[in-house]
């Protein structure tokens, strides 16, 4: 009876140990997700010639979005299974009347690798004065920034800045998120409107009202070993198996 009982014990213990040892090494998934929606709104345009203030025939307006591929504004380095994707449309040029918006997003992920990246989206309005009158322009720029990270060792930041080429006007806003051992997820958003921007487009001149969105993402993920407590249990179990084996030999 003693031998039979211990045989069952040994068999059960061996099955438990085998099941634990056969569990594949877990993977820690890490990721970041970011987006920036910019919206230009033309509040008003007035012809400075008092004789025909509503005549806008001499002003051509176009809008565009593009993603920079210059090394100063773009890089993407990955290792292992790390991957990063950004929406990358071709240059978009369109004639508009009062508004232009575009949503620029960048996503990165890894389960056993890393990502280190910078992506820059270029937005803009072009005011081309082909006439002989000057124009007073009033424009607003709204932004919706969202940054989210999950997993250990993830950092993401989004910054937007605008400027006018001739009028020397500028503004800046940013948002960021990161994870730590105490917080494995973080989501931050920032929605706002820059103060209205007013400038003049002289006869025969071009005013370029531009905005840049820079998205930086960095993540690291690696295979996660079995917890220390599991290995301690296994070592104790193996020792117990050896002890009971000796008892069985002696009892035999």
What's residue 89's pLDDT?
Answer: 63
* Domain presence at residue 249: no
Residue-wise DSSP of 149-169: EESSSEEEEEEEEEEETTT--
Count of domains observed in the chain: 1
- Would you say residue 244 has pLDDT above 70? no
Tokens of 202: 């002289």
Residue 155 belongs to domain spanning: 26-221
The percentage of the chain sitting over the pLDDT mark of 70, rounded to a whole number, equals 74
What is the mean predicted confidence (pLDDT) over 48-62? Answer: 92
112/224 Cα distance (integer angstroms): 9
* Domain presence at residue 100: yes
* Domain presence at residue 2: no
What's residue 19's pLDDT?
Answer: 43
95/100 Cα distance (integer angstroms): 10
What's residue 69's pLDDT?
Answer: 86
**Residue 96: band (very low, low, confident or very high) from pLDDT cuts 50, 70, 90:** confident
What is the mean predicted confidence (pLDDT) over 150-157? Answer: 95
**Residue 247: band (very low, low, confident or very high) from pLDDT cuts 50, 70, 90:** very low
* Domain presence at residue 228: no
Residue 112 phi/psi, 5-degree rounding, is -150, 70
For all residues of the chain together, what is the average pLDDT? 82
What is the mean predicted confidence (pLDDT) over 15-32? Answer: 57
* Domain presence at residue 13: no
Tell me the pairing of strands 99-110 and 197-201: unpaired
Residues 6+ apart with CB under 8 A from 123: 38, 40, 63, 64, 65, 100, 102, 210, 211, 212, 213
* Domain presence at residue 131: yes
* Domain presence at residue 248: no
- Would you say residue 168 has pLDDT above 50? yes
The percentage of the chain sitting over the pLDDT mark of 90, rounded to a whole number, equals 62
E strands, 50-112, are 59-67, 75-80, 83-86, 92-95, 99-110
What is the mean predicted confidence (pLDDT) over 6-33? Answer: 55
What's residue 4's pLDDT?
Answer: 43
99-128 pLDDT, tens digit per residue, is 888 899 999 999 999 999 999 999 999 999
Predicted TM-score (pTM) of the model is 0.76
Compute how many other C-beta atoms are within 10 angstroms of the C-beta atom of residue 90.
Answer: 8
99/97 Cα distance (integer angstroms): 6
- Would you say residue 132 has pLDDT above 50? yes
What's residue 37's pLDDT?
Answer: 94
138: exposed, middle or buried (Cβ count in 10 Å: 0-12, 13-18, 19+): middle
Instruction: Give the closest residue to 177 by CA, choosing from 191, 194, 190.
Output: 190
What is the mean predicted confidence (pLDDT) over 203-209? Answer: 95
* Domain presence at residue 122: yes
DSSP state of 8: H
């Amino acid at each position: 009876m003693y031998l039979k009982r211990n045989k069952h014990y040994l068999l059960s213990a061996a099955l438990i140990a085998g099941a634990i040892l056969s569990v594949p090494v877990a993977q820690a998934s890490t990721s970041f997700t970011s987006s920036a929606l910019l919206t230009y709104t033309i509040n008003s345009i007035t012809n400075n010639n008092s004789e025909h203030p509503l005549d806008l025939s001499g002003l051509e307006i176009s809008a565009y979005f593009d993603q920079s591929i210059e090394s100063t504004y773009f890089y993407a380095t990955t290792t292992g299974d790390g991957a990063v994707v950004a929406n990358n449309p071709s240059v978009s040029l369109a004639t508009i009347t009062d508004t232009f918006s575009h949503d620029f997003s960048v996503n990165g992920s890894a389960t056993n690798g890393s990502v280190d990246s910078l992506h820059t989206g270029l937005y803009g309005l072009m005011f081309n004065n082909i006439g002989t009158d000057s124009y007073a322009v009033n424009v607003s720029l709204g932004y919706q920034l969202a940054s989210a990270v999950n997993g250990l060792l993830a950092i993401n930041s989004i910054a937007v800045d605008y400027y006018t080429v001739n009028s020397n006007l500028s503004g800046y806003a940013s948002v960021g998120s990161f994870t730590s051992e105490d917080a494995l997820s973080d989501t931050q958003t920032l929605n706002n409107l820059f103060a209205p921007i007013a400038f003049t487009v002289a006869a025969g001149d071009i005013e370029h009202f531009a905005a840049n969105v820079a998205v930086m993402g960095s993540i690291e993920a690696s295979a996660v070993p079995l917890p220390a407590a599991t290995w301690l249990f296994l070592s104790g179990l193996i020792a117990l198996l050896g002890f009971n084996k000796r008892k069985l030999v002696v009892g035999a």
